[in-house]
Structure 1
């Protein structure tokens, strides 16, 4: 490397620190330790013979030199992305990789049912599915598309509304046989309850009913894993708040309780304009829309209908639901 040549890795690290205004947050995003990130910034400042960042009690602030370097790094990144976009726009029909980011739940439980069929139909497409609760930046290349809980406002991002998740209460037949079924939300205070940590963070925005429940109930298990929540509930660990579609995924082990819906949450598929231009992007977008359409499943409609009333056309409860309650 020439003595005057800058290390792009250190410039990239600087850009993340400048964007997040925190060494710790940048280290987490980059998958490196905070001392390593700090050392790379120190090396870059020595190389440029100037101070780029000011460490303050509020976090990190850019110096005048730091703002100049940040502008150059953004320009270089945009130029590199232009090469990527221009070349990838010349894609071969129905081939290539799609990087999708989604939170724990919808992707890992609902979409996985039909991914094998999708891959059989489109063998040239490679799906890279990242399950993470962290917000992704599609414009910076973190992923190609994501499932989001808010509709994006950026002009360079496109979105398709996928539907509504209806959260409600479930328990196993064994738990109900041993502890009985709550007949009202008030009765939940005497039961063992389970909760996803994301629900705990979002619950104030759900509804007045959910806000009141947060104060009234205590939870014996709080987890960041939908799989853990579902398994503990299915094995008799307690009553869990789960999306209504779980009634279809695990009908033998999980009984939807005859209680009101606790929260309807809208969600979107978000992607870049580049994804819409690519044939593989359009294929995945169409497939995603279909998985949540009313033609495929009623679980994601705007209006909540209790799972027990979907089992039979006349609105009667399913045999499974009836037997669980009579045990």
Structure 2
């Protein structure tokens, strides 16, 4: 019996048609014309000597033979993906790509500005640095590493605790000109308060009379962007709740003499596969250093008011 050599491209086209049940839809996904897709399916059917689809007015339906081919092609696709994942573990030292995901805030404001240092130290690593509006699903393949504010519970997701974000109130000299700086949370009443959407639901934890406080405070601006919040505040727009580290990023901001309102822990999460890769271990170690108490005071467990940090640092010497 003469052996038939299958065309991988035609099997790939078959898989998309079988999934979408439409030659036209498959053509759009593949970037090919409908006649080209139809021709490749016809050639595959001729090669196999059987019909793989029944054509209908609504599209195409798999035949019994087609369902068997679909099952086999799925197995082939899974095996091909396994090859990619397995071989990528045998990486060249310090080279290859990494996919990082973080949310608006510490990833985009603190870590992003330091990325050129990592690139200089590890020129062979290509970094895909994404900012998302939700935490990445590492188990689902969203990213290789991520910064998260919830400690992962899945056994196949690893993590290291990076530190604590200490949220407090900031404003500018321009805003306070002609105004009295608030000395307590209730002194915020009458001021223009700027708020991130994510923080507005946390006010209840700031004070035992938080419900009344929330009603009395005027939120002149609410936003889902940390960049917008910082820029409006830094340009004299009001008083904003932000992590203590922003005072290092923007000299226009001044920290009010108010207590910390919320400490939030955060973690770097990653998969076991990334830990096995040299480039993964390098990025993990580098990221941990960017948040270490030796390198920066802002992420240590104990809150130190920015106005007192110089004195605190002197005592620690």
Q: Using structure 2 for the length normalisation, give the TM-score.
A: 0.74
Taking a change above 3 Å as real, the CA distance of residues 114 and 2 of structure 1, as seen in their structure-2 partners, is closer
Structure 2 equivalent of residue 296 of structure 1: 295
How far is the alpha carbon of 1:208 from its aligned partner? Answer: 4.8
Aligned twin of 2:88: 88
Report the CA distance shift for 1:160/1:2 in structure 2 as closer, same or farther (over 3 A). Answer: closer
SS state at 2:288 partner: helix
Greater Cα shift, 75-84 or 92-101 = 75-84
Other-structure match for 1:281 = 280
CA distance in 2: counterparts of 1:114 and 1:123, whole angstroms: 14
* Residue 308 of structure 1 pairs with residue 317 of structure 2: no
Which of the two has higher C-alpha Rg? 2
1:216-235 → structure 2 map (5 Å cutoff): 216-235=216-235
Equivalent positions of 1:5-20 (< 5 A) are 5-7=14-16, 10=19
**1:149-207 deviation line (CA, Å, top 9, x unaligned):** 10111111000000010100000111112322111100101100101112235x26855
Q: Is the 8 A contact 1:206 1:264 kept in 2?
A: no
| Aligned equivalent of 2:196 | 196
Deviation of residue 83 (structure 1)? 2.4
Which residue number in structure 1 is paired with residue 116 of structure 2? Answer: 116
Within the alignment, does 1:269 sit opposite 2:268 as a pair? yes
Spell out the pairing of 1:66-215 with structure 2 (5 A cutoff): 79=79, 81-201=81-201, 203=202, 206=205, 208=207, 211-212=210-211, 213-215=213-215
Q: 1:3 to 1:280 in 2, by over 3 A?
A: closer
Distance 1:46 1:117, change over 3 A: same
For residues 81 and 273 of structure 1, do their structure 2 counterparts lie closer, same or farther at Cα, with a shift above 3 Å needed? Answer: farther
Q: Is the 8 A contact 2:102 2:135 kept in 1?
A: no
CA contact (8 A) 2:15 2:73 kept: no
- Report how many residues are paired: 262
- Separation in 2, partners of 1:260, 1:112: 28
Deviates more, 1:271-280 or 1:110-119: 110-119
Distance 2:204 2:266 in 1: 14
CA distance in 1, matches of 2:237, 2:61: 59
Partner of 2:86, secondary structure, is helix
Q: CA deviation at 1:10?
A: 4.3
**Secondary structure at 1:138 match in 2:** coil
Q: Tell me if the contact between 1:159 and 1:270 (Cα under 8 Å) persists in the aligned partners.
A: yes
SS in 2 for 1:116: helix
Q: What is the alpha-carbon root mean square deviation over aligned residues?
A: 3.1
Structure 2: state its 5+ residue gaps: 1-9, 21-55, 64-70
